[in-house]
Every structure is written in structure tokens, then in C-alpha cells.
Structure 1
Amino acid sequence: MANTEREALWQERVERWRASGLSQRAFALQEGYPIRQVGYWVRRLSAVPSMAALVPVTVQGAAAAAPAMKLCGPQGWSVELPPDTSAA
């Protein structure tokens, strides 16, 4: 049996074990698998990184830039300077 076939077989077995609600030991005894082999494959398949997936993203318009400076007076007046204001 090729490695990929063996891995696919154990992937299916590990999924059945997870769905069973049994301990690894109880599942191995019930199915007739070596207990250590079940544990080995659970660890090995858990360590395999899942494939990265691309997800759609919706890009919205840029938010309005906040003012670089806002001066507020005690009588309620305010002056806002945009970020591109020259210091000169």
C-alpha cells in the first residue's frame, strides 16, 4: 500500500474514531487495530497543516482621513487642519 493510500485510510479511521465518542483505546479494541497505531495516526494527522484556502474579500472605499490637527476653543469653535497641510 502506498503512503498516500495508507494516510487516506487512516484519515478515514481517525474521523470514524472522532465521531464515535470512544477513547482511542476503546476504538482500537473494538476495531481490532493496535492501540499504539491509533494514537500514532491521530498525532500524525493532527500535525499535518491544513491546506491554505483563498477566501473572497470585499474591498470598500477608503475611510475619510482623520484631520492631522483639530483645535477646539472654549466657546465651541474648532479648526481642523488636513494631514497634507504645509508647516510653512
Structure 2
Amino acid sequence: MTRFYLTYAVLFMIPFVLYGAFIYFSLGRAAVRESLTTKALGYLSVTGAALTVIIIVVLTNYSGYDADGTYTPAHLEDGKIVPGRIEPAVGDAAE
């Protein structure tokens, strides 16, 4: 679950890192703090949120799972944990 949240936190932070790197390398270290105005942080936050939402939509639509399949949750079988999986819908033969 931590990986899940870290993935989206990193996606959200990408615009901040790119902006900071751009300012640092183009104007110098002192200019980074001065350039982080409320307006700039607002734009970066909206951009980060939009990037995160776009990635979530793309990953959920193109993840490769069968939308019509039946989900079998993780369970114990002979003392071992069997991971959850999606069974293909009836009539869908894996070829």
C-alpha cells in the first residue's frame, strides 16, 4: 500500500522538481526561494494533480485486466497464501 501512495506522491511532485531544477540551473541557487511564489505553487499544484489524475486514468484503462472477468481474492490454500487474481469471463479462452 505504501508503494501505491508513493507512486502518486512522486507523480504529484514531478512539476515541483522540474520547476526547481529549471530555476536553479538557469538563475542560480538564490533565485529558487524567491521564485516560489503563491501563484507559482498554485500552478504547480494544479499541474501535479492533473498529471496524477491523467496517469491514474491511463493506468486503469490500459492495465490489461479483463473488465468482465471474475475477481478471486487472496486466500489460504494448504497453508500457503495464494494471491488474488482475475479469472477470464466464461467464453474468453486465453490464446
TM bucket (normalised to shorter chain) is under 0.3
Which structure: greater helix fraction?
2
TM-score normalised per structure 2? 0.24
TM-score normalised per structure 1? 0.25
Which of 1 and 2 has greater Rg? 1
